[in-house]
Chain A
Amino acid sequence: MNLVLFSLCALHFLLNLISVSCERQDINALLYEKFDKAASCFRLLNGTHQFGCSSSVSGSLGVIHFIQNEHDIDWLINNAKAGPYMAVVPPKIFNQRNLMLELQSSKDISGILLAINGSSDRPEYFSPDDTCPNRYSGEGTCSEAWNPEGTSLLLVDWGKPMFVVKDPVVISKMHECFLKFNQPFDDSQIHKSLCSLQMKSHMHAAVDTPTCIRRSNSITFVFNPLSYCDGMGDKNIISTLEPIKKPDNRSILLFSTRLDTASMFDGVMLGAMSTMTGLVTFLATAKLLSSMLPANSSYERNVMFAMFNGEMYDYIGSGRTVYDITQNTFPKTSNPIGFEHIGLMVDVSQLSKSTQLYCHTKKMNNDVDLLTKDFCRSLETNAVKPVTVSTEVDEELPPSSVHPFLKKDKNIPAVVLANHAKQFINRYYNGLMDNASNIEYRYYNSSDIPEGSVQDALAKISTSLARSLYEWVTKKRYSGSEVVKPDIIDELLHCYLESRNCKIFKDANAPEEKLTADLTPLYVGVYKSVNPITKLTALTHVYFTGRDVNISESNCKSSVDDYSYYWISGQSGKGECKQTTVQLLKALSPAFEIDGYDWTSREYSTWSESVWQEMSLRMFLKPSGQQEMVTLIIGLVTLVLSFVTVYWLKSQAHLLFQIEVGVAC
């Protein structure tokens, strides 16, 4: 009986061992939980200050603490003992500037994690930008609070790292760990192992742009070829309806919009209402206008299409254009234009599904007033129902690309089109939640688009706008029936907000080009690298406004005289050659090129972005001091004991191991 029992036990034991399968259990993976989808805040510099976040060189460490309300912050800053802490804040706390600044100034807080728990976790407003965006680079004093809910957190030097997590799975993992190890929240925390975070996002640059450039230039050794910061910027996309040749005064309409959004965190900005609605309307208007006006029509007046980049950072793109105009190199050194040639500047700013369009003009009390009011009136008469246009006369125009132009020559007639009057209706201006749901967009994928949707509204606004531009160029009303179809808007918004691997981008690229489905953020980045979205937008613009020419693929590449040629897939997918005036022009602030530029002058943008090497966020268990001490003491005792024992054995060996002579051993 015993034998049976024993063999059963042995069998069980063996089975147990055999069933241990070989799976790689990395110690590192057991110690750390790494979160790849976390986006980090980074450091930006301007001519006088530094903004944003940076961790310490080896990464900042802190005990996780989830914050729900002010009391938690209070406890964390004044009573908590097991610090430093990582404060995990929901968007509603992040929205309260005073609370965030309290966290920022506390030495017990080593970092901040913004936890957005899925798409439903939306506060009523969320805008980290200034109440008057681009406050110091506009042409006026910025007396209007355009963005009343703006917290200006973009313009804070945090001095600690900050990450954002949007994945509910990641947040629940952290929360579980926090509840399991860190409770109860009192002094007993000191004696326990605590769930902690490590944030690594060390920034190389510091102080301000001129300091950083000076330091970068002083790196002379080859073995340290790293720069500390790079000037921000990208490319402007510029084209004209007809090539410019000896223009008359006030004969060019500069039709503009912006291409970028501001961003606090790396790689997560969509800017649906802040930027996308305007850009999409702009592209659709340009497309319609090009097809309304027959090729090579010799009107006196011309339209220049300009998509400016880096506008959220003190008008990098439009500031550069103004500088190029003063240098007589815009848009081409062979045929430059001057400020006097600009007859009207129309900027498309934020739009939405609201069909109430505001035509912002500036109060001038001179002839300029007439020109701008004329355009607004023309827009009113050309408005396609249900679009209604009201003229809004401002002391200062809303933040838009017209500012650098007006700063240089305040007599340029300028109009800004937007969905708002004195205050943005966008409550997520340059915020993380400014996504498809902010403009109530959903992709219809060529099924019927109902009236009242954002696609429908933007299509009608584009049509109205194209008609009034037509009227401005030809000086007569449009009698045709061409309109912008909501499908185009639907497809474009899908491309920009949901997937780059979309119909229009495919048609606009070369046939062999492969697109990935991910989204590219619209943050302008550094001048050194061209943002992929700029290239895609330029190609879309070529596809929409370029003229078909019968040229084979091999000859369709160079630029000749006034035109450049692009080989794109086209609707057929087989490839076609487009003749276009589209140019990609430098959008880098002249401040980085002018020798001895006064960085405090506020004339041009001075933003630069710090270089960083690694951004990572991981969770781990910080051992309690007690556990550390116990391990250390056991180790030291073992060491000492071994030495004593071995020494004793060796000294007594002649007695212990005494072997009688003759015994083989």
Chain B
Amino acid sequence: MTISEFVGCACIAYGPLLAMFVFTIMQDPIRIIILIAAAFFWLVSLLLSSVFWFILPLKNTLIFGVVMSVLFQEFFRYLIYRLLRKAEAGLKKVSVPDTNIEITNNKHVLAYVAGLGFGTMSGAFALVNVLADISGPATMGLKGSSSLFTIISAVLTSCFVLLHTFWGVIFFNAIDTHNHMQLAWVVGSHLLVSSVTLFNSRMLYFSSVIPAITVLVCSAYMAFMICGGSCRKCKVVCGRGGGGAQGDVTPSPSNSAT
């Protein structure tokens, strides 16, 4: 009966992801392959962190599992960075006409696609369980749980999808330019945002959503700057376009070859 709740939550969580996929990934087979590869890497990191969680003590202290999982994810982000840098030479040779030029010309595109791959898989794992259950006749709130639960879950999932994308861009750039501050930002903010989601179990939803969104905005700005954007350009573009654009800033580096 609450098929409308299902659709609503799915749109909140996966809407931005879908939009990015449609406009920036879909046309290029190489990008799709990289997206899937990144998603696979995220999956392996999840597998390894759950194996470690299973083997090591402190099973019941959730924060321990969270920290470990974050570290594993960042480690695998590094691995996919290495892999993609190695593959770069090969990618240049595989030239499908008019498609993968950007990938080879703009390093940020690779980072962006890999980040989105991470986000896709983590988004799927975060919400699919919840979505499957809320497609029934019931809504949250029966046993003292808040009716906001589903919508907050969806918003957080959406945040994580976008965060992973931005983190991907920042992370790759940080390693390329040996910028330790950016590296620390990625790992630190990932740890922070993952940890604050633990407040959800106490129904302190806003203490998890507000930090998550703050970190999201900061990361978005950083990624935007890294990719060569600036406030000045933004103003110019807005002025030109009639000031109609707003909303979250999604970096979609493309066509930057000059």
Contacts and interface: CB of A to CB of B under 8 A. Distances in A.
B129 A27 contact: yes
B160 to A, nearest CB: 15
A632 B254 contact: no
Given A21-B62, A627-B147, A641-B247, A61 B254 contact: no
Contact of B4 (A18, A629, A657): A629
A573 interface: no
Interface in B106-141: 106-108, 129-130, 133-134, 136-141
A61 B7 CA distance: 21
A619 B136 CA distance: 12
Contacts of B137: 61, 196, 198, 620, 622
B9 interface: yes
Contact of A631 (B8, B65, B177, B250): B8
Contacts of B134: 27, 31
Contact of A650 (B24, B133, B140): B24
Interface string B237-253: 10011000111111111
A622 B139 contact: yes
Given A18-B61, A628-B5, A645-B250, A639 B11 contact: yes
Nearest to A618: B138
Contacts of B24: 646, 650
A658 B256 contact: yes
A616 B254 CA distance: 56
A664 B107 CA distance: 9
Contacts of A633: 8
Contacts of B145: 30
A292 B223 CA distance: 101
Contacts of B19: 639, 642-643, 645-647
Contact of A658 (B2, B22, B258): B258
* Secondary structure class of chain A's binding surface, majority of residues: helix
A17 interface: yes
A386 interface: no
Contacts of B11: 635-636, 638-639
A254 B252 CA distance: 94
B106 A665 contact: yes
Contacts of B2: 623, 628
B26 to A, nearest CB: 12
Contacts of A632: 4-5, 7-8
Contacts, number: 203
Contacts of A196: 137-138
A18, A635, A654, A658 pick with most chain B CB within 10 angstroms: A635
A196 B142 CA distance: 10
Contact of B9 (A16, A22, A631, A657): A631
A648 B243 CA distance: 12
A644 B16 CA distance: 10
A652 B237 contact: yes
A-side interface size class: 35 or more
Contacts of A195: 142
Given A621-B142, A638-B15, A646-B20, A20 B237 contact: no
A61 to B, nearest CB: 5
A551 interface: no
B23 A646 contact: yes
B50 to A, nearest CB: 12
A657 B250 contact: no
Contact of B12 (A20, A634, A663): A634
Given A642-B16, A643-B19, A17 B198 contact: yes
A649 interface: yes
Given A177-B142, A665-B228, A653 B201 contact: no
Contacts of A1: none
A61 B1 CA distance: 10
Nearest to A641: B247
> 8 tightest A-B contacts by CB?
A635-B11, A635-B8, A620-B138, A631-B8, A623-B139, A639-B15, A642-B19, A632-B8
Interface of A: 16-18, 20-22, 25, 27-28, 30-33, 61, 177, 193, 195-196, 198, 619-623, 627-636, 638-639, 641-650, 652-659, 661, 663-665
14 contacts: A18-B61, A20-B198, A22-B62, A61-B1, A61-B137, A622-B139, A623-B138, A635-B7, A646-B22, A650-B23, A653-B253, A654-B254, A656-B234, A665-B228
Given A634-B151, A646-B250, A653-B256, 16 more contacts: A20-B198, A27-B134, A30-B145, A30-B149, A31-B138, A620-B137, A620-B138, A621-B139, A623-B2, A627-B147, A632-B8, A644-B247, A645-B19, A653-B253, A654-B254, A655-B233
Interface of B: 1-2, 4-5, 7-12, 15-16, 18-20, 22-24, 59-63, 65, 106-108, 129-130, 133-134, 136-143, 145, 147, 149-151, 154, 158, 173, 176-177, 195, 198-199, 201-202, 226-229, 233-234, 236-237, 240-241, 245-256, 258
